[in-house]
Structure 1
Amino acid sequence: MATGNQLPADLENEVSKANGKVSRVMGEIGIAIATSDDPKFADKAARIAGVGSVIRDAEAQWINPPAVYTDQGVLDNVTGQSATNPATNPFFQFQWGHKAINAPAAWAAGYQGEGVRVAVLDGGFDLDHPDLAANIVYSRSFVPGESAQYALGDVGSHGTHTAGTVAALDNNIGVVGVAPKANLLLIKVLRDSGSGSFSWLLQGVLDAVNQKADVISMSLGTFLLRNGKYLDDNGTPADPSDDFIGHDAKGTQELINALTRVMNYAHSQGVTLVAAAGNDAIDGNKDGSGLSIPANLPNVLSISATGPAGWFANRTTNLDRFASYSNYGTPDVTFAAPGGDFSLYPTANWQYDMVLSTGNSPGAAGQYYFSAGTSMACPHAAGVAALIIGKNGGQMDPTRVEAALRASADDLGKTGRDPLFGYGRVNAYRAVSAVQ
């Protein structure tokens, strides 16, 4: 990483002298990626004039897919009820999240995200899904050895699920997205298993900017320790779980600096950044051990999750309960959105409290599954941002998008910004109805 934002002009030659090879130059943010077999390469490269730091490219488990997506009996029940109670999109009646954010009223008012480009950064995607394919205008993978196409074979493709919540087509098939006329840029920055390196995320954000994304939706995250030591909410040292990445304090800070650079750059280029707050029930007001990345970086809108309990039995139940797993904290949450919950597990029909969206389709027919997490909340909020930008005619400054979200959010919990819901749960209709 350069001392400033400008890499040395002769970087490749100097890196070669240090027994390394530059594989990618990200000149926009003053960062380059290099490889070397020399154990002393980092020390040598750090002495190159104009180089401020050399960071080892750490890996993390950015997504932990739930153990249960749904069982076939539940899907059959959904299919059966949809057949006897047809809607424009048969599974729409099970998308309680759209009701919670008042999305149908926004569509009826004429706002569906037309012309807006939303980049979804995730694992692999079902690029041929009939509820997504016509809205996909770009796909790319930064994961070596894996294409953008999800290849594990099971229905539970996390990237496909989040993409569907943003912009599944309004096509009389399956589900519908919050912004059903938005264009999807599907960028793979994680393995299908949910793991990946920090450099893939950096490259994915830059690629989204270069592809003229208006919104970047990041349903991924890891907990990056500030000083290599984890303290729980009571200030007690604890062994970090697999979700937490521990490094030395300097290395950790440099990783944060690198990620901050790319997010600030994207924001400066007019991109609205939206990320999942995290699923570890961390109280950011008490735990100062680290940051949920990328949610807690500057210029990123961090989205906590809401979800009902017993919705299937009582369709009038509260849809805005704070989700049992969601991270929270006044400095850590910007907005809330429907993410679903499993608080009644394993009682009957608990899956219906989760979010239904698109899944990988091994065959020609579309597949769907239920899931819950701030990963599901993030694309709801990204979709509302797309509706706002679509109303504006595109190319909207992200500070204006955030202001519109704040002005239109439903203020839940304590008045004003609070630890659970931030400035409030996003409201699609109010967002497109307000004067901007």
Structure 2
Amino acid sequence: MKKNFLFIIIFTIAGQIVFGQSKEEWKSKVDPVVINKIQSGPTEFMIVMKEQADLSQSNMLDTKEEKGNYVYKTLVETAKHSQASVISLLDELKLDYKQYWIANAYLVKGDLNAISQLANLPAVAQIIENASYTVPKPIVESFDEGNNNRAVEWGLTQINADKVWALGYKGQGAVVGGEDTGYDWTHPAIKKKYRGWNGTTADHNYNWHDAITTGNGGICGLNSKVPCDDQQHGTHTMGTMIGDDGAGNQIGVAPMAKWIGARNMGQGAGTLATYVDCFQ
């Protein structure tokens, strides 16, 4: 009788320990920043799935088109077959969410109860903060007015871009993709290089994307259908990449390349989700 009683006690204590561990195990998957934020009410967070696409086979393909198709299909298929349990729970909890196949992740807004249930799913690797990012303000420095109109900008000569041009390589045939505060596509230094401009009309389909759909979109508004820059940082960086003012002042590294763009920051501020959205 004493042996049986002792066994019951040991079994009960062991069960409580195991149950206690499993009950809190979900927290090991959750960014402490998210848990702190959630104390004040529902918050946005990113769910990262455990299964990630294996893209190594793309190295065996010959052309850029073949590689691109393989990568796209593999990413989409991986997301599709690995996300079923998460989608089911998100729908059951009636939460708003956005899927990202490019990273096999989700943007979700929910409370602590939702986070604990989602983190308990075996398919979920981690839950992280939808961190915010702000573009640094420019540093204003004095400059020599006499050298304001250089034929080739100082930065380009420092990286020997002009020597590469002399070999015949100026970015011809390449398309540069940028994501930033947006782009003033009509700026004379980059307009002619925009892939959506044929010299007469503009086509922004598959040439521009705006990930700023909430909050204050500044002068561009929200989900702008045309390239727009409400902070000018993006226009500046695109000029550095492909810009040419047409008046002999070379400002871009690849002046014969084309460009496409996306806006991941509204008024200079973006989030992890807006960055991922633009990559996708």
Q: What TM-score, normalized by structure 1, do the two folds share? A: 0.38
Equivalent residue in structure 2 for 1:149, among 205, 224, 228: 228
CA apart distance, 1:180: 0.3
**Paired AA for residue 33 in structure 1:** L
**Taking structure 1 as reference, are residues 60 and 3 closer, same or farther at Cα in structure 2, changes over 3 Å only?**
same
| Deviations 1:336-373, CA, capped at 9 Å, x for gaps | xxxxxxxxxxxxxxxxxxxxxxxxxxxxxxxxxxxxxx
* Alignment correspondent of 1:66: 138
Partner SS for 2:127: coil
Partner SS for 1:53: strand
Q: Conserved in 2, the CA contact under 8 Å of 1:125 and 1:149?
A: yes
Equivalent residue in structure 1 for 2:271, among 184, 189, 197: 197
CA apart distance, 1:170: 6.3
Equivalent residue in structure 1 for 2:160, among 90, 97, 102: 102
CA apart distance, 1:26: 1.9
**Paired AA for residue 185 in structure 1:** I
**Paired AA for residue 179 in structure 1:** A
**Taking structure 1 as reference, are residues 202 and 116 closer, same or farther at Cα in structure 2, changes over 3 Å only?**
same
| Deviations 1:235-277, CA, capped at 9 Å, x for gaps | xxxxxxxxxxxxxxxxxxxxxxxxxxxxxxxxxxxxxxxxxxx
Structure 1 residue ranges (4+ consecutive) displaced by more than 6 angstroms after TM superposition: none
1:54 aligns with 2:127: yes
**Paired AA for residue 149 in structure 1:** C
Mapped partners of 2:90, 2:184: distance in 1 = 39
Name the structure where helix makes up a greater proportion of residues: 2
Mapped partners of 1:48, 1:113: distance in 2 = 47
Mapped partners of 1:41, 1:168: distance in 2 = 48
**Taking structure 1 as reference, are residues 15 and 65 closer, same or farther at Cα in structure 2, changes over 3 Å only?**
same
Q: Conserved in 2, the CA contact under 8 Å of 1:58 and 1:198?
A: yes
Q: Conserved in 2, the CA contact under 8 Å of 1:2 and 1:50?
A: yes
1:26 aligns with 2:105: no
The number of residues matched between the two structures is 184
> Structure 1: which 5+ residue stretches go unaligned?
83-90, 208-436
CA apart distance, 1:178: 1.0
* Alignment correspondent of 1:403: none
* Alignment correspondent of 1:302: none
| Deviations 1:208-233, CA, capped at 9 Å, x for gaps | xxxxxxxxxxxxxxxxxxxxxxxxxx
Partner SS for 2:259: strand
**Paired AA for residue 45 in structure 1:** L
Larger Rg: 2
RMSD of aligned Cα (Å):
2.6
> Structure 2: which 5+ residue stretches go unaligned?
1-47, 53-77, 196-206
**Paired AA for residue 96 in structure 1:** W
1:45 aligns with 2:103: no
CA apart distance, 1:102: 2.2
Q: How does 1:111-190 map to 2 (within 5 A)?
A: 111-137=169-195, 138-144=207-213, 145=217, 146=222, 147=224, 148-152=227-231, 157-169=232-244, 171-172=246-247, 174-190=249-265
CA apart distance, 1:179: 0.5
Q: How does 1:315-326 map to 2 (within 5 A)?
A: none
Mapped partners of 2:238, 2:257: distance in 1 = 11
**Paired AA for residue 84 in structure 2:** A
**Taking structure 1 as reference, are residues 105 and 135 closer, same or farther at Cα in structure 2, changes over 3 Å only?**
same
| Deviations 1:44-85, CA, capped at 9 Å, x for gaps | 222334222222312132x21125377xxx79x46xx77xxx
**Taking structure 1 as reference, are residues 28 and 96 closer, same or farther at Cα in structure 2, changes over 3 Å only?**
closer
% identity of equivalent residues: 22
